[in-house]
Structure 1
Amino acid sequence: MILITQILVFILIILSTILIVGIPVTLASPGEWEKSKNLIYTSVGIWTGLIVITGIVNSFIA
């Protein structure tokens, strides 16, 4: 169970890093928001889901 939590946290860190770089670049680029809007919303939804799933899995460890 600890390995699953570590994998979830690792994926969360990678996705967070991608979003921290990707969202400002997308917003600063002219015309990119309209093209990438659905991808960003989907990524943020996955990120939120990972937060919830990681919290639930972590509650079983303690």
Structure 2
Amino acid sequence: MTIVIQILVLALVIFSTLLVVGIPVTFASPGQWEKSKNLIYTGAGIWTGLVLITGIFNSFIN
């Protein structure tokens, strides 16, 4: 079970890094918000899901 938590945390860290870089670039690029709005909302949803799943799995470890 510990390896599952480690994999989830690694995925969360990598995905967070991608969002930290990608979202400001999208906001700074002219006209990109309209094209990438759904992608950013989907990314935020996936990130929220990863946080919740990691927390749920972490609650099973003593």
Give the shorter-chain TM-score range: over 0.9
The whole-number CA distance in structure 2 between the counterparts of 1:39 and 1:2 is 31
Greater helix content: 1
- Map of 1:33-48 to 2, 5 A cutoff? 33-48=33-48
Partner of residue 31, structure 1: 31
Shift in Å, 1:37: 0.5
TM superposition score normalised by structure 2: 0.98
Shift in Å, 1:56: 0.3
Percent identity for Structure 1 against Structure 2: 71
The runs of 5 or more residues in structure 1 that have no matched partner are: none
The runs of 5 or more residues in structure 2 that have no matched partner are: none
Partner of residue 6, structure 1: 6
The whole-number CA distance in structure 2 between the counterparts of 1:33 and 1:15 is 20
The whole-number CA distance in structure 1 between the counterparts of 2:34 and 2:11 is 27
Deviating above 4 A after TM superposition, structure 1's stretches of 4 or more consecutive aligned residues are none
The superposition leaves residues 8-59 of structure 1 with CA deviations (integer Å, 9 ceiling, x where unpaired) of 0000000000000000000000000000000010000000000000000000
How large is the RMSD of aligned CA atoms in angstroms?
A: 0.4
